[in-house]
Amino acid sequence: MRVNNPRTAWIVYIVLRLLFFAVPFTVLFLIGLQPWIAAVFAALIGVALSVIFLARPRSTASESIYDWRNRDRTPDDIVEDEAVEARETPSETAQPGPSAGPDASGTGTGTGTGTASNSR
């Protein structure tokens, strides 16, 4: 299924996702399963079918979300955002683990630092 128009992609995606849930739910309910069990199985079946069959409409819909979110961005904004992201390092957010002792900060105030400040 080829969908290029974002609006059409959204409509196709939403309608088929609803059908991928409603049809299995109806069938499972009519064969006598409890409604909540039928809903759980119908949801699992719907997710599986949408992953298999709706890759292209989902991709088109997600591209339209990206385009909508970035519609006011200039090339300069993009370069600035990339520079900010490059400056951020994982070490800024890393916390010392539970095995880190009191000398983990590198201040040299703990025992066993290897320096002798009180030599006589």
- Higher-confidence residue of 75 and 35: namely 35
| Cα separation, 93 vs 98, whole angstroms | 16
Share of the chain above pLDDT 70, in %: 68
Q: Is the pLDDT of residue 26 over 70?
A: yes
Q: Kindly report, residue by residue over 30-56, the tens digit of the pLDDT.
A: 999 999 999 999 999 999 999 998 888
Maximum CA extent, the chain: 92
Sequence-distant (≥ 6) Cβ neighbours of residue 5 within 8 angstroms: none
What's the predicted TM-score (pTM) here? 0.52
Q: Is the pLDDT of residue 7 over 80?
A: no
